[in-house]
Amino acid sequence: MTFLKQFLGAAATLALSAGAALAEPAIIYDLGGKYDKSFNEAAFNGAKRWADETGGSYKELEMQSEAQREQALRKLAESGANPIVMTGFAFGDTLNNVAPDYPDTKFAIVDMVVDQPNVESIVFKEEQGSYLVGLMAGMASKTGTVGFVGGMDIPLIRKFACGYVQGVKAANPDAKVIQNMTGTTPAAWNDPVKGGEIAKAQISQGADVIYAAAGGTGIGVLQAAADAKVLSIGVDSNQNYLHPGQVLTSMLKRVDNAVYDAFKAGPDLKPGIKVMGLAQDGVGFALDDDNKALVTPEMLKAVDQAKADIIDGKIEVHDYMSDDSCPVQ
């Protein structure tokens, strides 16, 4: 009996200490996959940067289907991971149900607002970044027609589109923007063939700069644009290198910074809504060796000016999600 007690005690201590050691952060990537060269990859880069700098380790999970969400979340929470960061609006409902069951665990969700006392909701002002690349597209376009290819048709992607159109119109009020969404199911994030076909359709209608906000589908859009020798704009991560000299720029969404900050805060993560806009370096545009020949000094000047004006509040970029409509088409 005593032996058993001792044994149980030892086991309990072991379990406790193991629990403490396991308080490592975790990240869950959404359906696009960890290496989508875009949104989720940016999250991965943030996690990796944290691991490289601190020498710490973290857990990660990739979603394979819609059905896994709740199970994955509960499994990570029960394993003692803290905080748990997840990328993607699709986790919203699940997290809203799961978070109250684990009051001691901190969660962070990107791209969605979840109103729970232990959840940090990180939202980006994509419309601001999209406005800047739209401005560049409007200036770079020779035909006065530019394109937009979205992934799954959701308000978030409409927010990208709306900011983009506002930017294009700021550069050229007469410009025409052709907008397409790839589909209405998650398969729309991984269909480069359809993305390429949509891009070709837009090019045949005169578009000479195409902005793809479509995850893996965007790879096909960029490819079709490069094949047809027109410009394209990447999204989320820096995609300029995919077709050097043919990608005008990329709208950066610094998901990596968001994940890095959340990991750094650890269990002390501050719940609430965190807005990442131009002022917080949460969004921006990419400028590197691959696209510097495409970006003219006038373009750069206009974009820097617009950026300063947005931060000052002189330019107000309309947020599609605030009223589910866009003032310009």
- Residue from 46, 138, 163, 220 touching other proteins (CB under 8 A): that is 220
Strand order in the sheet with 119-124: 59-62, 26-29, 84-87, 107-110, 119-124, 272-276
200 sits near other proteins (criterion: CB under 8 A): yes
* CB 285 to other proteins: min, Å: 23
* CB 87 to other proteins: min, Å: 14
Residues in the chain: 329
181 sits near other proteins (criterion: CB under 8 A): yes
Which helix (H) or strand (E) segment holds residue 45: the answer is helix 39-54
Stretch that binds other proteins, among 74-82, 184-192, 260-268, 277-285 (CB under 8 A): 184-192
193 sits near other proteins (criterion: CB under 8 A): yes
Spatial neighbors of 136 by CB under 8 A, at least 6 apart, are 167, 171, 233, 248, 249, 285, 295, 299, 303
- Residue from 125, 159, 194, 307 touching other proteins (CB under 8 A): that is 194
Residue 306's nearest CA partner among 319, 317, 318 is: 317
Structure tokens at 224: 């079709």
* CB 103 to other proteins: min, Å: 35
35 sits near other proteins (criterion: CB under 8 A): yes
- Residue from 113, 154, 187, 321 touching other proteins (CB under 8 A): that is 187
Structure tokens at 228: 């047809």
Could you tell me the CA-to-CA distances from 237 to 40, 203, 252, 287, 318 in Å, in that order?
Answer: 9, 24, 6, 12, 23
Binding mask 222-261 for other proteins (x = CB under 8 A): -x------------------x-------------------
* CB 217 to other proteins: min, Å: 9
Count of residues interacting with other proteins (CB under 8 A): 30
* CB 81 to other proteins: min, Å: 22
* CB 207 to other proteins: min, Å: 12
* Closer by beta carbon to other proteins, 145 or else 180: 180
Q: In the window 270-329, what residues touch other proteins (CB under 8 A)?
A: none
In DSSP terms, 236 is beta-bridged to 252
196 sits near other proteins (criterion: CB under 8 A): yes
Spatial neighbors of 106 by CB under 8 A, at least 6 apart, are 82, 83, 84, 118, 119, 120, 267, 268, 269, 271
- Residue from 13, 17, 71, 184 touching other proteins (CB under 8 A): that is 184
Which helix (H) or strand (E) segment holds residue 119: the answer is strand 119-124
DSSP string, 56-71: ---EEEE--SGGGHHH
Name the residue with tokens 């043919």: 246
* CB 216 to other proteins: min, Å: 5
Q: Which residues of 262-274 are buried (b: 16+ CB within 10 A; e: fewer)?
A: bbbebeebebeeb
- Residue from 82, 118, 145, 190 touching other proteins (CB under 8 A): that is 190
Stretch that binds other proteins, among 6-14, 115-123, 177-185, 245-253 (CB under 8 A): 177-185
Name the residue with tokens 């309990």: 12
* CB 224 to other proteins: min, Å: 9
Q: In the window 107-166, what residues touch other proteins (CB under 8 A)?
A: 153
Spatial neighbors of 299 by CB under 8 A, at least 6 apart, are 135, 136, 139, 140
Q: Which residues contact other proteins by CB under 8 A?
A: 33-37, 41, 153, 179-181, 183-184, 187, 190-194, 196-198, 200-201, 204-205, 216, 219-220, 223, 242
